[in-house]
Amino acid sequence: MPGRNLTRREASRLIGAGAAGLLLHIPTLRAQAATQSSSMLARAIPSLGEKLPVIGLGTWNVFDVNLTPENRTQLAEVMSLFVKRGGRVVDSSPMYGRAEGVIGELAAKLGLRDSLFIATKVWTAGKEAGIAMMERSMDRFRTKRIDLMQVHNLVDVETQMSSLREWKTKGRIRYTGITHSQARGFYEVERIMRSQKPDFVQINYSIMEPEAAQRILPLAQELRMAVIINRPFGGGGLFGRVAAKSLPPWAAEIDCRSWAQFFLKWIVAHPVVTCVIPATNNPQHIEDNMAAGLGRLPDAKMRQRMIAFVSSL
């Protein structure tokens, strides 16, 4: 493992033109999309059966920006491409600074609100503080109803889940959820899944962090909960691990042409995963990520081969 995590952008600079197998240029990605099915894989939310595309959009850090003309143009392109390529789930949080407001403004300007499944979070202690935070999120998203409200990192989870159930009954949110971003929180996640029975659970899961497959994913299947996956690239560490390395030739067997697709397809191949939310503010990367929802997925044997290959690097 490298001494620090590399982002995909940093990895690209290290690789240069000589290792084109790691990250694709947009024209190549568009040609790939044209040769594959244009319909992204979708999975049902167990509680109601509504289907969601398996590749979503995370916004931590990358949407916490001032909407300068340059940022506005770039993020508008990201959101437009995301919807054009079949995406719906956009995940945010009050913890992410300006991200909720940026999404709300751009979605309104681009006319995309009805195309999006907005997921955000409540991240505070106390009932009144939680309600006030959720009201602010509604204002920032410029909406009267949010698709999914989640208790962020289980902060005051019993209190906030009570409010979420009330808001769901009133029609102000459509689904309830809980989140955690570290495997050390899985014991408590499991306890809350059993006691509170949210519609969604959001946890970290990747080739680098596979622990959720031991208990959390089977429990989600047992309790009929949708699963959103965060940290699909191990916080960027996976790109550091494969920097300057080419994809194995057999990756073509699962219609995989970049490391991002390699990592995302490994996750999506787990049948309990509803959606994975890689974060990006880069139009090239959104094209790359969305292609992971197209074409063939690895079977169990291939997934083990993928783990073994990455572990050998």
pLDDT in tens, 157-177: 999 999 999 999 999 999 999
For domain 52-311, give the CATH number. Answer: 3.20.20.100
Question: Taking 70 as the threshold, does the pLDDT of residue 35 lie above it?
Answer: no
Please tell me the least confidently modeled range out of 23-27, 98-102, 229-233, 256-260.
23-27
Contact present, 22 and 281 (Cβ < 8 Å):
no
Question: Taking 70 as the threshold, does the pLDDT of residue 32 lie above it?
Answer: no
CB-based contacts of 247, cutoff 8 Å, min separation 6: 21, 22, 256, 257, 258, 259, 262
What pLDDT, on a 0 to 100 scale, did the predictor assign at position 193? 98
3-state secondary structure the chain: CCCCCCCHHHHHHHHHHHCCCCCCCHHHHHHHHHHCCCCCCEEECCCCCCEEECECEECCCCCCCCCCHHHHHHHHHHHHHHHHCCCCEEECCHHHCCHHHHHHHHHHHHCCHHHCEEEEEECCCCHHHHHHHHHHHHHHHCCCCEEEEEEHHHCCHHHHHHHHHHHHHHCCEEEEEEECCCHHHHHHHHHHHHHHCCCEEEEECCCCCCHHHCCHHHHHHHHCCEEEEECCCHHHHHHHHHCCCCCCHHHHHHCCCCHHHHHHHHHHCCCCCCEECCECCCHHHHHHHHHHHCCCCCCHHHHHHHHHHHHCC
**What are the sequence ranges of the domains in the chain?**
52-311
**Tokens found for residue 89:** 């789930």
The rounded mean pLDDT for the chain is 89
Euclidean distance between CA atoms 202 and 38, whole angstroms: 27
Contact present, 23 and 260 (Cβ < 8 Å):
yes
Euclidean distance between CA atoms 51 and 201, whole angstroms: 16
Euclidean distance between CA atoms 262 and 58, whole angstroms: 18
Question: Taking 70 as the threshold, does the pLDDT of residue 257 lie above it?
Answer: yes
β-partners of residue 272 are none
Euclidean distance between CA atoms 244 and 21, whole angstroms: 9
Q: Identify which of 207, 239, 208 has the alpha carbon closest to the alpha carbon of residue 22.
A: 239
Q: Work out the pLDDT band at 7, boundaries 50, 70, 90.
A: low
Q: Is 65 exposed, middle or buried (0-12, 13-18, 19+ CB in 10 A)?
A: middle
What pLDDT, on a 0 to 100 scale, did the predictor assign at position 18? 30
